[in-house]
Amino acid sequence: MSTTSSSSAASSPVGTLYLLPVTLGDDRLDSALPAEVLKLAKTLDTFVVENEKTARRFLSLMKTDKPVRELTLLTLNEHTEEKALPDLLKPLLQGHHVGIMSEAGCPGIADPGARLVELAHRKGIRVVPLVGPSSILLSLMASGLDGQRFSFHGYLPSDKAARVLRLKELERESQKCQQTQLFIETPYRNQHMLEDILAHCQGTTRLCVATNISLTSERIVTKTVSEWKRQELPDIQRQPTVFLLLAAVAR
């Protein structure tokens, strides 16, 4: 991996867009991110971020070469309009290397950053993914469910009736294709999601609840729906959680 600093980027006609992973709420950077990733990231002075406040906190912990107040932070989130995307690429077209950061751990995965990456490819800008934690992949790895066939569905409907209908659809699809279904929920609705799964999915369906991935409070448990019903449910309200379902083979 090259560690060319952004200060020398002017010699290159076009900069590189680095997909910079962040920790999932854990301040111990060295245990979550490789040394080479941190070394490179510290040299950058321009970042595209989903949330400026949390990005500045992360950059302060990382101890960038320049003071954080001197860094350029450009915002890209779910509210960013398509017409604003070209402006986010201007520093790259001027020869500066840029890091893109996500609230979800890895840019482009369950993250609006994918829109900018797509445009970068169309403009001929080099895109480099850097190694770091992804709650989606880590939960799948630890679930014991099918890692050969899986699908991530993002957020399910917030309306209860629509959410239950969608859960049943995902369970049927899982049973038909023997495919692990992954999805997430707004943290303050996590408990409702868990209760709906247990109330409306088949007892033989396996459910993994993966909470606080990579943190000291991490909890990853896989049981059948029937087994979950026979125990006291964990309190996952307001805690980042990934849900994974794998239906039993139809008899």
Q: Are 24 and 33 in contact (CB under 8 A)?
A: no
Regarding whether 189 and 109 lie in a shared domain, the answer is no
Regarding whether 179 and 96 lie in a shared domain, the answer is no
pLDDT at 78: 87
Number of C-beta neighbours around residue 148 at 10 A: 7
Structural domain contains residue 105? yes
Regarding whether 147 and 119 lie in a shared domain, the answer is no
Structural domain contains residue 228? yes
Residue 193 phi/psi, 5° resolution? -60, -45
Regarding whether 226 and 173 lie in a shared domain, the answer is yes
Query: Block means of pLDDT (10 residues each) for the chain, length 251 residues?
Result: 43 85 78 91 94 91 92 93 94 96 84 92 96 92 96 94 97 96 93 96 98 91 97 92 94 70
> Could you give the number of structural domains in the chain?
2
pLDDT at 105: 80
Regarding whether 142 and 91 lie in a shared domain, the answer is no
Distance CA 41, CA 18 (A): 9
Structural domain contains residue 208? yes
Please compute, for residue 178, the number of CA atoms within 13 A of its CA located in the half-sphere on the CB side: 7
Label residue 216 exposed, middle or buried (CB < 10 Å: 0-12, 13-18, 19+): exposed
Of the chain, the end-to-end C-alpha distance in Å amounts to: 50
User: Does residue 137 sit in helix, strand or coil?
Assistant: helix
pLDDT at 194: 97
pLDDT at 4: 45
pLDDT at 27: 63
pLDDT at 215: 86
Whose tokens are 């989903």? That residue is 50
**Domain that residue 140 falls in:** 135-246
Global confidence as pTM = 0.84
Q: Are 158 and 202 in contact (CB under 8 A)?
A: no
Helix axes 190-200, 160-177, angle to 10 degrees: 60
Regarding whether 88 and 59 lie in a shared domain, the answer is yes
Say which amino acid occupies 167: L
Residue after which a domain boundary falls, among 97, 129, 161: 129
Residue after which a domain boundary falls, among 76, 111, 129: 129
Regarding whether 170 and 104 lie in a shared domain, the answer is no
